[in-house]
Homo-oligomer: A and B are copies of this chain.
Amino acid sequence: MKFAKIPMATINRLSIYMRTLQDLLEEEMDVISSERLAKQCGVNPAQIRKDLAYFGEFGVRGVGYRVSDLINQIKEILGLNRNWNLAMVGLGNLGSAMIRHGNFIKHGYIFTSAFDVDPQKVGKRLPNGLIINHVDELEEIVKEREAHIGIIATPASAAQSVANQLVLGGINGILNFAPVQIQVPDCCHVENVDFTIKLDCIAYHLSSGG
């Protein structure tokens, strides 16, 4: 099963399973069935088993999954048994909110650099101790601090240019909050987050009696 092509949706769900399993671990639950986990994650039990089957056999028939083992297996699959260094670009409302947020570090995501163009912001120290650098220094600093993932939290108009600089800095993964489609070489993986799309989706459902 190891080298089938893995559906994107599976990867997303693994992340959800892991989060739920971590909650379960805190509640001292040490074994769980796909049925109960599925209910808690809002998916079909067979889905969970299928998703896991892409990567191996992690359960015990007649019993279920050992919670802490499964967490470790999923971490291994997703590549989360290590830390990832993040470069934040754009320290406005959203960028600042994320840097202040404590949960990323818990999951092994560490902000090691931060960039803006605003001269008012460049040179300031953030709550986590980081100093904001000018975006012109991005390529250099990103290499120096071994950033793995870039986060674009600038206005849409700057997003493509920031993406270009991140790529030059050797970054192969980008989380983009700007509401535009950015163009990058194939070696670079982009994930987009756009809240407004989600709101539009809710509006649609409210409008058409869904």
CA distance A201 to B73 in the complex (A): 15
CA distance A205 to B84 in the complex (A): 13
Report which of B11, B172, B181, B201 forms a contact with A204, defined as CB distance below 8 A: B11
Report which of B107, B175, B198 forms a contact with A198, defined as CB distance below 8 A: B175
Number of interface residues of A (CB under 8 A): 58
**Beyond A40-B181, A101-B93, is A198–B191 a contact (Cβ under 8 Å)?**
yes
Residue of B nearest to A196 (CB): B107
Report which of B15, B156, B181, B206 forms a contact with A201, defined as CB distance below 8 A: B15
- A191-209 contact mask (Cβ, 8 Å, vs B): 1 or 0: 1011111111111111110
**Beyond A77-B204, A181-B41, A207-B78, is A199–B93 a contact (Cβ under 8 Å)?**
no
Contacts of A63 in B (CB 8 A): none
**CB of A120 within 8 A of chain B?**
no
**CB of A165 within 8 A of chain B?**
no
CB distance from A126 to the nearest CB of B (A): 12
Number of this chain's copies in the assembly equals 2
**CB of A210 within 8 A of chain B?**
yes
Contacts of A119 in B (CB 8 A): none
| Inter-chain contact A191/B201, CB cutoff 8 Å | yes
CB distance from A45 to the nearest CB of B (A): 15
CA distance A97 to B90 in the complex (A): 13
Contacts of A148 in B (CB 8 A): 206
CA distance A84 to B173 in the complex (A): 35
Residue of B nearest to A208 (CB): B79
Contacts of A40 in B (CB 8 A): 181
**Beyond A104-B196, A196-B104, A198-B175, is A203–B96 a contact (Cβ under 8 Å)?**
no
A-B contact pairs, 6 of them (CB 8 A): A11-B200, A11-B201, A11-B204, A19-B179, A19-B196, A93-B101
Interface residues, chain A, with chain B CB atoms under 8 Å away: 8, 11-12, 14-16, 18-20, 23, 40-42, 77-80, 84, 93-94, 96-98, 100-101, 103-104, 107, 109, 148-149, 156, 172-175, 179-181, 189, 191, 193-208, 210
